[in-house]
Structure 1
Amino acid sequence: MPVPSTQPAAERKLLRDTVQDKIRDAIMDGTLEPGERLNDDDLIAWLGVSRTPIREALAELARAGLIEMAPNRYTRVAAPTKGELLDAYQTLGVIYGGVVRLAVPRFSDAERRTVVATLDQVLTRLGKGEQAALAHDGADVYAMWADACGNASLAQLCRATTDGLSFKLRVPEIAEVVPVDVVAPRIADLRDAVRATDPIAAELAMEAVHLLPERS
Structure 2
Amino acid sequence: MPVPSTQPAAERKLLRDTVQDKIRDAVMDGTLEPGERLNDDDLIAWLGVSRTPIREALAELARAGLIEMAPNRYTRVAAPTKDELLDAYRTLGVIYGGVVRLAVPRFSDAERERVLGVLDDVLARLDADQQAEVAREGADIYSMWADACGNASLAQLCRSTTDGLAFRLRVPELAELVPTDVVRPELVKLRDAVAAGEPIAAELAMEAIHLLPTRD
The bucket for the TM-score relative to the shorter chain is: over 0.9
1:11 aligned onto 2:4: no
2:38 is the alignment partner of 1:38:
yes
What are the equivalent positions in structure 2 for 1:122-133 lying under 5 Å apart?
Answer: 122-133=122-133
Deviations 1:60-113 (A, max 9, x none): 000000000000000000000000000000000000000000000000011111
Q: For 1:187 and 1:151, how far apart are their aligned partners in 2?
A: 24
Mapped to 1, the partners of 2:52 and 2:27 lie a distance apart of 20
3-state SS of the aligned residue for 1:201? helix
CA distance in structure 1 between the partners assigned to 2:214 and 2:126 by the alignment: 23
What is the TM-score with the length of structure 2 in the denominator?
A: 0.99
Match of 1:173 in 2: 173
- Alpha-carbon distance between aligned partners in 2 of 1:59 and 1:21, rounded to the nearest angstrom: 13
| Equivalence for 1:137 | 137
Residue in 1 that maps onto 2:57: 57
Letter in 2 for 1:210: H
Partner of 1:102 in structure 2? 102
Counterpart of 1:204 in structure 2: which amino acid?
A: L
Taking the aligned partners of 1:128 and 1:113, their CA distance within structure 2 comes to: 23
Deviation, structure 1 residue 3: 2.6
Q: What TM-score does the superposition give when structure 1 sets the normalisation length?
A: 0.99
RMSD over equivalenced CA pairs, Å: 0.6
Q: Distance in 1 between matches of 2:103 and 2:5?
A: 41
- Which blocks of at least 5 consecutive residues in structure 1 are unaligned? none
How many residue pairs match? The answer is 216
Letter in 2 for 1:6: T
Cα separation, 1, equivalents of 2:143 and 2:68: 24
Quote the offset at 1:133 in angstroms: 0.7
- Residues 125-172 of structure 1, C-alpha deviation per residue, up to 9 Å, x if partnerless? 000000011100101100100000000000000000000000000001
- CA distance in structure 1 between the partners assigned to 2:59 and 2:173 by the alignment: 29
- Quote how far apart the aligned CAs of 1:2 are: 3.2
Shift of the alpha carbon at 1:5?
A: 1.4
In 2, Cα distance between equivalents of 1:141 and 1:42:
31
Tell me the amino acid that sits aligned with residue 199 of structure 1. Answer: P
- The 2-side partners of 1:69 and 1:3 are apart by 37
